[in-house]
Structure 1
Amino acid sequence: MLIRTIEKFLREHAMPATKFGRLAANDPRLVLDMRMGREPRAALSFRVEHFMNTYGETAHAG
């Protein structure tokens, strides 16, 4: 499940849920809504997974 992967990511990076939603999908309520049962569509799920997979590369670049 995507929400489990997101929760693990949040713990590993000590990132607030609202910041994650803003950065990953321009939606600060994304994680909160998913915790309440929201199921994102395929395109949004892909964007969120891509964000998590590339976060380390972009967070430490520069």
Structure 2
Amino acid sequence: MDGDLLPRIEAFLVRVGLSATRFGRIVVHDPRFVFDLRAGRRPRRLVHARVAAYLVEHGA
């Protein structure tokens, strides 16, 4: 897993104007997901892959 997931998410949120809570709900059904990443949480491989795929699919 690469360590650039959070910066990619942050850039995506700014670019599309989406809140961190809404992103977490949409992508992983966890409204605290981005906040937990910011606090140091490391997602499991499948969650990481799901988020990375979502970002690629949506042009991030």
Normalised by the size of structure 1, how large is the TM-score? 0.84
2:20 is the alignment partner of 1:17: yes
Give the deviation of 1:52 after TM superposition. 1.4
Cα distance in 2 for partners of 1:54, 1:2 equals: 15
**Tell me, which stretches of 5 or more residues in structure 1 are unaligned?**
57-62
The question of 1:3 aligning with 2:6 is answered yes
**How many residues align structurally?**
56
Partner of 2:36: 33
Give the gaps of 5 or more residues in structure 2: none
Cα distance between partner residues in 1 of 2:15 and 2:45: 24
Structure whose alpha-carbon radius of gyration is higher: 1
With a CA cutoff of 8 Å and minimum separation of 6, indicate the structure with the bigger relative contact order: 2
Residue 57 (structure 2) pairs with residue 50 (structure 1) = no
3-state SS of paired residue (2:41) = coil
Higher helix fraction (1 or 2): 1
Q: CA deviation at 1:55?
A: 2.9
TM-score, normalised to structure 2, is 0.86
4+ residue stretches of structure 1 with deviation over 2 A?
none
Identity of aligned residues (%): 41
